[in-house]
Amino acid sequence: MVKNKKAAKKFSDDEFWVFGYGSLIWNPGFHFVEKMQAKIFGYHRCLCVASTSYRGTRENPGLVLGLDRGGSTTGIAFRVAKKHVNDVLAYLEDREQITKIYCPYFTKAHLIDGRTVRAYTFVARHDHEQYAGPMSMEKCAKMVASGVGEKGSSLEYLANTVEHLDQMGIKDSDLHKVLKLAQNIK
């Protein structure tokens, strides 16, 4: 989040970037003109959102990723052409904000080429009923293994995310462990 005017001047008004840390990495679903690996600070990727529609149901929630407080996260930043910004914002609102579990947020994203851009992303809300918070890997794996919703299984979601993180050279050992445990439950 841009906290002061001095920091805000570092961002270009002519650019709009979206930071993806989970399924947006492998399925952005919107038009972009550039994508690049990027890192943000202050938030980490975490299986902390109980999915009650896309990857689970109210009766049997799956588990998906959110950005949670602390640490850092490497993902993908997508630059959106100015003429598509409103369409992309509307698309992301429809996709990510069904239950308002996420708080839309602007943060500094440090691109792999050395640039720093202002990026739009979504942070998990601790005050929301779907916030699953920290839990054991075993409990995460059970939710991942059993959750199936409108967009498929939580297991498929996690496997796709881990595969694409691996392709980017980002090793997330906790996600690998949860995936392996969940695959063994199935």
Q: pLDDT by residue (tens digit) across 120-176?
A: 999 999 999 999 988 999 999 999 999 999 999 999 999 999 999 999 999 899 999
With bands split at pLDDT 50, 70 and 90, how would you rate the model's confidence at 81?
very high
Q: What is the b/e burial string over 36-53, where b = at least 16 CB atoms within 10 angstroms of the residue's CB?
A: ebbbbeebbbbbbbbbbe
Comparing 3-12, 77-86, 98-107, the range with the smallest average pLDDT is: 3-12
Sign of the C-alpha dihedral, residues 84, 79, 99, 54? positive
Q: How many domains does the chain have?
A: 1
Q: What is the mean pLDDT of residues 8-31?
A: 82
CATH code for the domain of 94: 3.10.490.10
With bands split at pLDDT 50, 70 and 90, how would you rate the model's confidence at 186?
low
Structure-model confidence comparison of residues 4 and 40, the more confident one: 40
User: What span, in angstroms and rounded, lies between the C-alpha atoms of 32 and 85?
Assistant: 10
Closest CA to 77 of 114, 125, 48: 114
Identify whether 96 is a catalytic site residue.
yes
Mean pLDDT across the chain: 91
Closest CA to 55 of 22, 31, 19: 22
Sign of the C-alpha dihedral, residues 50, 162, 88, 149? negative
The structure tokens listed for 185 are 């439950």
Does the pTM exceed 0.85? Answer: yes
Q: Residue 105 sits in which domain range? A: 5-185
Instruction: Check 96, 129, 150, 163 and give the catalytic one.
Output: 96
